[in-house]
Amino acid sequence: MAKVAIIADVHIGNHKVLAGEALYRGMNTRCVAVLECLQAAVTAAIQRGSTELLVLGDLFDTDKPTPPMVALTMSVLQRFVDAGGRVHLLLGNHEASSVEPQHNALAPFRQLPGIVSYDSFANVVEGVGVLLPFFRKLSPYGQVSGWGTEPLFGHFGVWTESEPQPDWVKDSYSAACAEALFRSNLAPGQKLFVGDWHQYRKFEGPDGREIYQVGALVPTGFDNPGMEGYGSVLFFDTDTGKVVREEIPGPRFVTVRSVEELSQYIPEPEGIELYVRWLTSLDQVKAAEVYLASIPKLGGYEVVVDKRVSEAAAKSAATTAASQETLFDAAVEYMARVELPAGVRRERVFEIVRTALKL
């Protein structure tokens, strides 16, 4: 039997938001940070004596990674092979160029001893389980049925009946309901591990059934907010059935609106590279930029005008202006309340408005 290390959704690529400098062979700061997290996950797997390393889809963020990205990824994974293990790469939705075999970002890995890529449905690996790469032609319910109590490893999202989902999720081939899987598809004691959705979660069903949503090894940006639920490496002992989670630090993304909100993330825990999006009013943009620039060791930051604040200020100004008896009074009231960028003189703007309106 085997000691299996499991990761998912590494998303190696030149991410564009707060990309940083081109550090190595055309790979930007964020791409290098992702590769460092993969390196840390491989190290953890070796240190725990894992014999198999599974990547449950989306090793790459694109179906066309650059040759240097592929080469460096190969060298990182080769460390696990050199330590006596095998690497199994499941195709993810981000890596697939089409439904044709080997028409995807994992094709080059087929040539490497000790590293196997899977892009076809249902691959039984003795002593490990059944590998179910991203597959557009069969629903997750159909994919996981009929395998006895074999551990299953796939690439699709999992949701629960207590969490309302849009119809496109319920009817798609990329997600499944945990309760439905427990009722109709998984056998007593069977375990299912899945990649694709980025937050780590564990779902427990009756009679020892379990589903593990592994989560992203590295969050992809501000669409993956917060400090928790990322960086997962799961260690699964197929003899005992025990599953242990270890968290790999790395980039984390938070959105804040105040110093108080930001203070809960500062100083960053060891190994965390913090990226900050600060939402503020138009007149506070410069002040927010100055404050963020004063914080050492941030991975990056951006200051964004909070549309809700600006829209509320504009609505309030317009409402007040509309209640005035003359156009001149309305202009005065509007200019007193509307947001302006820092450094813009309100009186000068009012002079321009008066001239334009011939007041």
Q: Looking at the structure, tell me whether residues 49 and 195 fall in a common domain.
A: yes
In the chain, the amino acid numbered 326 is T
Position 241 scores a pLDDT of 95
**What digits encode the pLDDT tens for the residues 95-141?**
988 877 788 999 999 878 999 999 988 899 999 999 999 987 788 99
Domain stop point among 263, 281, 305: 305
Determine the pLDDT at residue 195. 97
Closest to 224 (Cα-Cα) out of 246, 200, 203, 245: 200
Residue 104, token pair as written in the block = 């995807």
Q: Residue 187 CB: number of other CB atoms within 10 A?
A: 15
Q: Answer yes or no: do 269 and 209 share one domain.
A: no
> Which of the pair, 73 or 330, is modelled with greater confidence?
73
Look at residue 335 in the predicted model and tell me its pLDDT.
61
- Same domain for 224 and 342, yes or no, is no
Same domain, 44 and 59: yes
pLDDT, the chain, mean: 89
285: containing domain: 252-305
Helix %, strand %, coil % of the chain (to 5): 30, 25, 45
Domain shared by 120 and 7, yes or no: yes
225 and 214 share one domain: yes
| Per-residue pLDDT, 172 | 74
Q: Which CATH number does the domain housing residue 135 bear?
A: 3.60.21.10
In this structure, the answer to whether residues 239 and 156 fall within a common structural domain is yes
| Cα–Cα distance, 334 to 92 (Å, whole number) | 53
Q: List the alpha helices (DSSP H) in the chain.
A: 29-47, 67-82, 140-144, 167-170, 178-184, 259-263, 285-293, 307-322, 327-337, 346-357
pLDDT at residue 59 tops 90: yes
Does residue 315 sit in the same domain as residue 300? no
Helix axes 327-337, 346-357, angle to 10 degrees: 150
Q: Under DSSP, is residue 319 helix (H, G, I), strand (E, B) or coil?
A: helix
Total number of domains constituting the chain? 3
pLDDT band at 313 (very low <50, low <70, confident <90, very high): low
Tell me, what amino acid is at 281? Answer: S
pLDDT at 330: 66
Residue 166 has a pLDDT of 78
Averaging pLDDT over each range in 42-46, 171-175, 301-305, 322-326, which range is the top one? 42-46
